[in-house]
Amino acid sequence: MSAAFDPRTHLPAAGELAGRVIAITGASDGIGRAVALACARYQATVILIGRNERKLEAVHAEIGASGAPEASIAVLDLERALAADYDRVADAVLERYGRLDGLLHNAALLGTLSPIEHYDVPTWCRVLHVNVTAAFALTQVLLPALKKSADASVLFTASTVGRHGRAYWGAYAVSKFALEGLSQVLSAELEGISRVRVNTLNPGRARTAMRRQAYPAEAIETLPLPAALTGPYIALLGPASRGVSGGSFDAQPPPLAG
C-alpha cells in the first residue's frame, strides 16, 4: 500500500472514469446517490444497487438526462436477499458487461444508539447483516467479474466510530470495525494474485437521512452535502488509486475538537 496516497488531494479529470463499470450499493439516496451521479459525470457506466426501485429509477433517469453512459439498476434488498438473488446480480453483471471495475459498498443501517448492555438483539443482527454480511456476500459473488477487470477497486464505507470505539454506537460501530477487518483480509488475500485492490473510505459527517437519524437535534444544514464529498470516491474507484490496497482513508479532515 502507498502511504503517501491521499484521495482528498486528487482532482479528477474530465472523463477520468470512461470505460469503467462501477457498482454502488445504496445508490438510491444520500452519499451513494451522489457518488453514483459523480461517477456517471466522470463517464463511468454505473450499476445502481438498492432496495427501492422507484428511487433507483429516479437516479437512473437523472444520469440518462445528463448524457452520461447509460446506467443499469439491480434491485437487491440487502436485509432479505438470498443466495439466488446475489447470483442473479452477479450473472447479470457478467452477461451485460463481462467484467466489473469498481464496487462501492455504501448501503448501511444505523440501528439504534444505545448501551451494549441494553442493545436490542434483533436490531444488532439486522445491522450486522446489512452492513457486513451482505457486503461480504456481494463481494464474493462479484469477485469473478472484478478479476476480469484490468484494474478493479473494491471500496468499503467506513466511519469515524468504526476506527475508535465510541459509547452507544453499538452494532453500527462494530459493523464498521468489521468492514475495516474485511477490507484488510481481502486486500491481503488478493495481493499478488489479482489486480483487485481493496480499501475503506470514511466520508465523514454529511447531510443525509442517516446523519439526521443519528443526530436529530443537530443543525444539519451546517454539514456538507454528499455531492461535495465525491472527489475522494472518484480517486479510490478510478485509475488514480491503481496499486493502492489495504488502506483506510478519509474524505474530510477530522472535525475540530470541542
- Residue 42 designated active-site: no
Catalytic residue among 119, 172, 215, 233: 172
Q: Is 249 strand, coil or helix?
A: strand
| Residue in 49, 163, 176 with CA at minimum distance from that of residue 102 | 49
52 near ligand NDP, judged by CB under 6 A: yes
Burial string for 51-80 (b: 16+ CB within 10 Å, else e) reads beeeebeebbeebeeeebbebbbbbbebee
Candidates 73-81, 89-97, 112-120, 142-150; binding stretch for ligand NDP (CB under 6 A): 73-81
Report the C-alpha gap between 67 and 40 in whole angstroms: 9
Residue closer to ligand NDP, measured from CB, 183 or 202: 202
End-to-end CA distance of the chain: 33
User: What is the closest distance, in whole angstroms, from the C-beta atom of residue 232 to ligand NDP in the complex?
Assistant: 12
The reply to whether 159 sits near ligand NDP by the rule CB under 6 A is: yes
Span near ligand NDP by CB under 6 A; candidates 72-80, 92-100, 192-200, 241-249? 72-80
Instruction: Report helix, strand or coil for 248.
Output: strand
Stretch that binds ligand NDP, among 1-9, 60-68, 184-192, 203-211 (CB under 6 A): 203-211
Q: Which stretch binds ligand NDP (CB under 6 A): 74-82, 95-103, 112-120, 240-248?
A: 74-82
Out of 17, 20, 23, 30, name the contact with ligand NDP by CB under 6 A.
Answer: 30
CA 57, CA 203: separation in Å to the nearest integer?
25
Largest CA distance in the chain: 52
Question: Minimum CB separation from ligand NDP for residue 183, in Å?
Answer: 13
- Here the cell at position 46 is 454505473
Give the residue from 66, 31, 64, 36 showing the smallest Cα distance to 48. Answer: 36
Find the binder of ligand NDP among 74, 90, 107, 201 (CB under 6 A).
107
Contact map string, positions 161 to 200, toward ligand NDP, x by CB under 6 A: ----------------------------------------
CB of 79 to ligand NDP, least distance (A): 4
Instruction: Output the CA torsion 224→60→106→49 (10° steps).
Output: 170
Binding site for ligand NDP (CB under 6 A): 26, 28-32, 50-52, 55, 77-79, 106-109, 130, 157, 159, 202-203, 205-206, 208-211
The residues annotated with a catalytic role in the active site are 172
